[in-house]
A and B are shown apart, each in its own frame.
Chain A
Amino acid sequence: MDLAFTKEEQAFREEVRQFFRDNVPADTRRKMVEGRHLSKDEMVTWWRILNKKGWGVSHWPKQYGGTGWTTVQHYIFNEELQSYPAPQPLAFGVSMVGPVIYTFGNEAQKKQYLPRIANVDDWWCQGFSEPGSGSDLASLKTKAERKGDKWIINGQKTWTTLAQHADMIFCLCRTDANAKKQMGISFIVFSMKSKGVTVRPIQTIDGGHEVNEVFFDDVEVPIENLIGEENKGWDYAKFLLGNERTGIARVGVSKERLRRIKELAGKVESNGKPILQDSAFRDKLAACEIELKALELTQLRVVADEGKHGKGKPNPASSVLKIKGSEIQQTTTELLMEVIGPFAAPYDVHGDDGSNEAMDWTAQIAPSYFNNRKVSIYGGSNEIQRNIIAKAVLGL
Chain B
Amino acid sequence: MDFDLTEEQRLLKDSVDGLLTDSYDFEQRKKYMKEKGGWSKAVWGKLAEQGLLGLPFAEADGGFGAGGVETMIVMEALGKALVLEPYLATVVIGGGFLRHGASAEQKAAYVPAIIDGSKTFAFAQLEKNSRYDLFDVATTAKKKGAGWVIDGEKFVVLNGENADMLIVTARTKGDRRDKTGVGVFLVPADAKGITKKSYPTQDGLHAADITFTGVEVGADAAIGNPDDALALIERVVDEARVALCAEAVGLMDESLKTTVEYIKTRKQFGVAIGSFQSLQHRASDMFVAAEQARSMSMFATMAGDFTDAKERSNAIAAAKAQIGKSLKFVGQQSIQLHGGIGMTMEAKIGHYFKRLTMIENTFGDTEYHQRRVADGGGLI
> Are the CB atoms of B296 and A294 closer together than 8 Å?
yes
Contact with B along A352-396 (1 / 0, CB 8 A): 000000000000000000000000000000010111011001111
User: Is B190's beta carbon under 8 Å from chain A?
Assistant: no
Stretch at the interface among B40-48, B174-182, B340-348, B366-374: B366-374
What are 19 A-B contacts defined by CB distance under 8 Å?
A1-B9, A2-B302, A3-B3, A5-B1, A286-B371, A289-B380, A290-B296, A294-B292, A297-B296, A300-B3, A301-B3, A301-B298, A303-B1, A304-B4, A320-B291, A385-B284, A390-B281, A394-B284, A395-B260
User: Is B295's beta carbon under 8 Å from chain A?
Assistant: yes
Residues of B contacting A248 in the complex (Cβ-Cβ under 8 angstroms): none
Which of A283, A291, A385, A396 is close to B260, meaning CB atoms less than 8 Å apart? A396
User: Is A285's beta carbon under 8 Å from chain B?
Assistant: yes
User: Is B263's beta carbon under 8 Å from chain A?
Assistant: yes
> Are the CB atoms of B281 and A286 closer together than 8 Å?
no
User: Is B26's beta carbon under 8 Å from chain A?
Assistant: no
Residues of A contacting B15 in the complex (Cβ-Cβ under 8 angstroms): none
Residue of A nearest to B378 (CB): A289
> Are the CB atoms of B284 and A386 closer together than 8 Å?
yes
Residues of A contacting B285 in the complex (Cβ-Cβ under 8 angstroms): 386
A 293-318 contacts with B by CB, 8 A: 293-295, 297-298, 300-301, 303-305, 308, 317
> Are the CB atoms of A293 and B299 closer together than 8 Å?
yes
User: Is A282's beta carbon under 8 Å from chain B?
Assistant: yes
* Given known A-B contacts A1-B302, A298-B295, A389 and B374 have beta carbons under 8 A apart: no
User: Is B322's beta carbon under 8 Å from chain A?
Assistant: yes
* Given known A-B contacts A290-B322, A394-B287, A297 and B280 have beta carbons under 8 A apart: no
Residues of B contacting A285 in the complex (Cβ-Cβ under 8 angstroms): 374, 378
Min CB distance B9 to A, Å, is 8
The main secondary structure of chain B at its interface with chain A is helix
> Are the CB atoms of B322 and A304 closer together than 8 Å?
no
A389 and B291 CA atoms in complex are apart in Å by 12
A308 and B285 CA atoms in complex are apart in Å by 27
Interface residues on B, range: 35 or more
User: Is A202's beta carbon under 8 Å from chain B?
Assistant: no
Residues of B contacting A293 in the complex (Cβ-Cβ under 8 angstroms): 296, 299, 318, 322, 379
Min CB distance A337 to B, Å, is 19
Residues of A within 8 A of B (CB): 1-6, 9, 72, 255, 258-259, 262, 279, 282-283, 285-287, 289-295, 297-298, 300-301, 303-305, 308, 317, 319-320, 323-324, 383, 385-387, 389-390, 393-396
Min CB distance B332 to A, Å, is 18
A219 and B283 CA atoms in complex are apart in Å by 46
> Are the CB atoms of B281 and A297 closer together than 8 Å?
no
- Of B2, B288, B295, B299, the most chain A CB neighbours within 10 A belong to B288
Residue of A nearest to B273 (CB): A396
Which of B5, B288, B302, B374 is close to A3, meaning CB atoms less than 8 Å apart? B302
* Given known A-B contacts A293-B318, A294-B322, A396-B264, A286 and B295 have beta carbons under 8 A apart: no
